[in-house]
Amino acid sequence: MVQRTSGFCQVIGVTAAWSHDLDYPSPFCYVHRTAVDHRTGLAAPTLFTYLMGSIFGYLLGSVPTAFLLVRWKSRIDIRKAGSGNVGTLNSFQVSGSKLVGLAVLALDFAKGFGAVALTSSLPGSDFTVVACAGVAAVLGHNFPVWLRFHGGRGLATAAGVFSFLCVPAVGFWGLIWVPGFQVTRNVNVANTGATLLLMVALWVVPGDYWAGLLTVSASTGSFRWFSTAALLVILLRHMQPVLQFMRGRNTHRDQEG
């Protein structure tokens, strides 16, 4: 259950409170994997929980859906065709199939949503554990170990993550993207502009406003920091095509979102 916890923790009947005979807390709370919040009765997150959530998020995000579906459909390595990006638009352009493009979009979205939704059910999982899984999923999509870290740009996967944490953030991004694309006629520039403005909005818009939009129990500060981390991972993969656009070398290879 995703809920921030605080207070003492109880492990196998031993409470991590100050001992009557000792001048230090009981060490059991830090050794055992399953800790329980003494006040709420809920499992508290441990290092093991953070590691499991992050590893699970990365592995799920790293599934190269565009690579697999394009290889299955057209017998082509998507990394060596079109823009070379392992993403939705390039999968459609390379395969020539709208069905493949839509399937990649849906599956990449599901990777992000699934990473945070499933991690939220881990014992002792709170917002920070779920957010770590979400950032790791975007990281895995953009830099999958299976393709020698040559992946996509993380937009669909991040949309899945934010759809679980804060749906309005996805809508805000889309509203900014449309006029950005109409002005520049470049997908990557529109992606970058919308991502940057969403990042600014996270810190400029009052925290109480974001708190009312969150679909999970979390502090505004935690949401801001983890969202910024995910957006930075997206921007990292957009740097090269945007720089090429700015230098006047915008070619067909740069038109991948």
Residue 216: is its pLDDT beyond 90?
no
Task: Write the DSSP assignment of 43-100 as a string of letters.
Answer: EEP-HHHHHHHHHHHHHHHT--HHHHHHHHHH---GGGSTT---SHHHHHHHH--HHH
Chain segment 139-167, per-residue pLDDT in tens: 999 999 999 999 999 999 999 999 999 99
Chain segment 48-95, per-residue pLDDT in tens: 888 999 999 999 999 999 999 999 999 999 999 988 899 999 999 999
Burial code (b: 16+ CB inside 10 Å, e: under 16) for 41-69 equals ebbbbbeebbebbbebbbbbbbbbbbbbb
Chain segment 225-242, per-residue pLDDT in tens: 999 999 999 999 888 878
The pLDDT confidence band at residue 196, using thresholds 50, 70 and 90, is very high
Contact 256, 87 (CB under 8 A): yes
The pLDDT confidence band at residue 15, using thresholds 50, 70 and 90, is very low
Q: What is the pTM of this model?
A: 0.78
- Percent of the chain exceeding pLDDT 90 equals 57
Q: What's residue 242's pLDDT?
A: 83
Nearest to 37 by CA among 63, 64, 4, 68: 4
All structural domains of the chain with their residue ranges = 1-44, 47-254
The pLDDT confidence band at residue 25, using thresholds 50, 70 and 90, is very low
**Between the ranges 120-134, 191-205, 237-251, where is the mean pLDDT highest?**
191-205
- Is pLDDT larger for residue 214 or for residue 141? 141
- Is pLDDT larger for residue 197 or for residue 7? 197
CA dist list (Å): 116 to 52, 88, 113, 132: 12, 21, 6, 9
Classified as helix, coil or strand, 233 is: helix
* Cβ neighbourhood burial of 219 (10 Å; 0-12, 13-18, 19+): middle
Q: Between vectors from CA 166 to CA 164 and to CA 169, what angle results, nearest 5°?
A: 125
Residue 135: is its pLDDT beyond 70?
yes
- Please tell me the distance from the alpha carbon of residue 206 to that of residue 173, in angstroms, as a whole number: 17
